[in-house]
Amino acid sequence: MSNILKMPVRPPARLGFKRVQKRQARDVEKSRQLNLFSRPERPENSARIVSIPKSQPLSFFEEALRMDEQGIAEARDFYERAIEEGDSVADAYCNLGILEFLADKTEAAFDCFSKSLREDPRHMESHYNLGNLYFEIGNLRLACEHYNMAAQISPEFPNIYFNLGLAHAMNEDLQAAVESLFKFKELVSESEGHQADELLTNLKQTLDLR
């Protein structure tokens, strides 16, 4: 007879969605920067006056992010404008997806995260957030798939392993759950790691009884 995992009275809550915090660097933008210390190719170019550009206004994505972080409703409009203008499209879709979820528009959130991944198949935040969405609707297999893809891209982001551990535990893959939760504890401070302790204790006790 199989042993039943005894979950804590209050199982730990899944960790939340991850917004793209800043515009991700693009190689094309780096190539536009002038290296002031490079050796000139021709002697006549050895002395040059370089004008320092004035600070540029925020892009649509950057303005949307500023509003989003301050809870300003117009952030949605600026994310949509950023997408129309081709400005950090994958990032904009990702952050817009979080707003859709918070507005109880789950299907729209799925659509946004999926479009983000069409723009950038290795967009970590969108894989992680899709994992959270699948977790919410009870599709633990797909939740684990997206958490694992996120972990391949950003293996040092601890929240992935906490949520992955919960998903494995709920799916009764106990050894995988233990491994994920220990990985979470390795990446966070001792105080943060305590939120996984009760579940880990129950998982290990269940494994010992098998």
Output the CA torsion sign for 176, 17, 129, 158.
negative
Query: Using one digit for the tens of pLDDT, what is the confidence trace for 181-208?
Result: 999 999 999 999 999 999 999 998 888 7
Query: Using one digit for the tens of pLDDT, what is the confidence trace for 64-86?
Result: 999 999 999 999 999 999 999 99
> What is the C-alpha R_g of the chain?
22
Tokens 């694992």 belong to 148
Whole-number pLDDT of residue 103: 96
Whole-number pLDDT of residue 82: 97
Q: What are the start and end residues of each CATH 1.25.40.10 domain in the chain?
A: 57-121, 140-210
The CATH number of domain 57-121, selected from 3.40.50.300, 1.10.10.410, 3.40.50.1980, 1.25.40.10: 1.25.40.10
Whole-number pLDDT of residue 210: 64
Query: Using one digit for the tens of pLDDT, what is the confidence trace for 6-46?
Result: 554 455 778 889 999 875 544 334 333 333 333 344 444 44
Q: Look up the CATH architecture of domain 140-210.
A: Alpha Horseshoe (1.25)
Write the DSSP string, 100-158: HHHTT-HHHHHHHHHHHHHH-TT-HHHHHHHHHHHHHTT-HHHHHHHHHHHHHH-TT-H
